[in-house]
Amino acid sequence: MEAVELIVYISAAIILGVLVLGFLVNFNYESIYNGLKDVFFPSGETELPKDLQQLTVYEFGEYVYKCWKSCGYGEMDKVCGTVLVKESRDENGTMITNLNKETLFKPFLKLNWCDSIQCKSCGCGYREDVDMADMVLPHVVELSCDSARNGTLHIKG
């Protein structure tokens, strides 16, 4: 048993001595830390899941409407899912690279869906049914309904 204690004390003394000596000679411990971090936690591009649904802006609008309908128009709490919204072109051929409420509700106005899903600030009804921030595309978003806040559809990215 004394041999084990002796080995533990000697090992602790060696480790402490190396740390003190490294401090005195101004050794760069950060480089070792970063090297070990890269080995155990690679910082490469994260791959999207293969089954993640990829939608254009207009397909996403339809997905939002179906989600809102499946929530009972805000009567139920529900998570509709997560999708990737890609850049796409509008009817004039202009590339849509930002997604906001106005962009989302343009087709709703044309399709006369404003009785079902509304956005007062977009000129589509008298309520604010959708809670979302502006997003730069492509963007992964999650849709969920919250009945506690007067029936709100949350689009989080």
Q: Where are the alpha helices (DSSP H) in 43-82?
A: 57-70
Chain centroid, CA 57 distance in Å: 17
Please report which confidence band the pLDDT of residue 45 belongs to, taking 50, 70 and 90 as the band edges: low
CA gap 66, 143 in Å, rounded:
11
- The more confidently predicted of residues 77 and 157 is 77
For β-strands 98-99 and 135-136, DSSP reports them as: antiparallel
Q: Are 68 and 129 in contact (CB under 8 A)?
A: yes
What is the domain count for the chain?
2
Q: Tell whether 47 is covered by a domain.
A: no
Give the DSSP H or E segment for 15. Answer: helix 2-24
Shared-domain flag, residues 61 and 87? yes
Please enumerate in sequence order all residues whose Cβ is within 8 A of that of 135, keeping only pairs 6 or more positions apart, or say none: 85, 98, 99, 100, 141, 157
Shared-domain flag, residues 23 and 57? no
Q: Tell whether 13 is covered by a domain.
A: yes
Angle of helix 57-70 relative to helix 101-111, nearest 10 degrees, comes to 70
Chain centroid, CA 84 distance in Å: 10
Shared-domain flag, residues 87 and 118? yes
Shared-domain flag, residues 24 and 64? no
Shared-domain flag, residues 62 and 105? yes
Shared-domain flag, residues 24 and 71? no
CA gap 126, 119 in Å, rounded:
7
Domain span including residue 31:
2-40
Q: Tell whether 46 is covered by a domain.
A: no
Q: For a pLDDT cut of 90, what percent of the chain falls above it?
A: 22
Shared-domain flag, residues 96 and 150? yes
Per DSSP, 28 falls in state -
Please report which confidence band the pLDDT of residue 149 belongs to, taking 50, 70 and 90 as the band edges: low
pLDDT one-digit tens code per residue, 55-65: 999 899 899 99
The rounded radius of gyration (Å) of the Cα atoms in the chain is 27
Give the DSSP H or E segment for 132. Answer: strand 130-132
